[in-house]
Structure formats: C-alpha cells, structure tokens
Amino acid sequence: MRWLVAGLGNPGERYAATRHNVGVMVVEELAQRAGAHLRKARFLSALCAEANDGDEQVLLARSLQFMNESGPTFASLAKRRGLDAEHVIACHDDIDLQFGSLRVKFGGSTAGHHGLNSLVAALRTPNFHRVRLGVGRPPGRVETHPDWLLDRFTKRERPEVDLLVSDGADAVQSLIRYGLEATQDRFNRRDAGPR
C-alpha cells in the first residue's frame, strides 16, 4: 500500500518556524526519521522524499506554493502515484485545538482552514486523513488575526512545539501501521475539546 503525507504550510525561510507551518515540521521530522531528504519534484512545485514504513511506501511532501494554493500540488502527487484520497494524510495547524494538543480524524469540515479548503477542492472530496496540530488562539482576542498564525513560535513555546511535532510524526506512523481507530484511541486527547 502507498501513502502521501502532505505537510501544509507556506514556503520560504520567513514562514519556516511559524504556527501555520507546524504541518510542514511534521513532514520534515518524518523525513529525518527515515534518513531521507526532501528534494524538488520534477514538474511540480513541491519538495518530496520517499520513505518506507515496513511494507508501506510513503511519499512525504510539502508544497512550494502558499498554503491556500497548495491543494493542486498534493492532488497531482496523489494522481501520479495512483492514490485515492483515503491514502492522503494532511498534517496541519488548528487554532480550534489548545496549544500542544493533537487530534486525528478522517473527513469532515475544514473549519475554514484555507489549506484544507484548497486540498478538498483539488481532491474533489473531504475524505482524507488529517493530523490536527493544536496551535491555539492568541490570548485575550475573540478573533484570531492572520498575522498571529504567521508569527514564529516563542522560545518558551519551542519545547512544547518539539513535542507536538514528534507526536504528530508518531500519529502519522500509527495511521499507516495500525489504522484510524487505533490511532484515535492513542492520540485524541481529552484536553483538545469537541469539534
């Protein structure tokens, strides 16, 4: 069986360590674990790495397009590999989860997340796996300003971010090895709140 793991985020050094790029961080962590290097894909605006997880073939990818335009890149990668949407795992930031929490789900609403909206439109279905990485909302604000998502994590937040990224990579590997139900039992934490 083959899988595509899509790390949602924005390209360039300016966005590398921002809240919006935590999904990309998970893909980079998985590449590091596999001893693989993300390289430019031929004819597509993406960086990709091949990895194996037991008998499973896994394509790790991040788009070089901005997040709200990244869906077609991932959909093209899936099509090239003959993958159905059910074998796509999107890793993405989620402001509706407390900072540091994690949830795994299949399908459902995008909750207005522009990267997910782009991916749903390109795949023509919402039915793919998601690893939701909690970045929370800024304190004292009802509305989340877009600039806040594009801010870098603070030094104080970095240890929790490192743990979140590691857990996110573990969750991806669990999805591939053990399936959705077992992964949800392990990773969907009570502190994440309902969705």
Q: Which residues are catalytic?
A: 20
Q: If DSSP states are collapsed to H, E and C, what string results for the chain? A: CEEEEEECCCCCHHHCCEHHHHHHHHHHHHHHHHCCCCEECCCCCEEEEEEEECCEEEEEEEECCCHHHCHHHHHHHHHHCCCCHHHEEEEEEECCCCCCCEEEEECCCCCCCHHHHHHHHHHCCCCCEEEEEECCCCCCCCCCCHHHHCCECCCCCHHHHHHHHHHHHHHHHHHHHHCHHHHHHHHCCHHHCCC
145-176 burial: b if 16+ Cβ within 10 Å, else e: eeebbeeebeeebeeebeebbebbbbbbbbbb
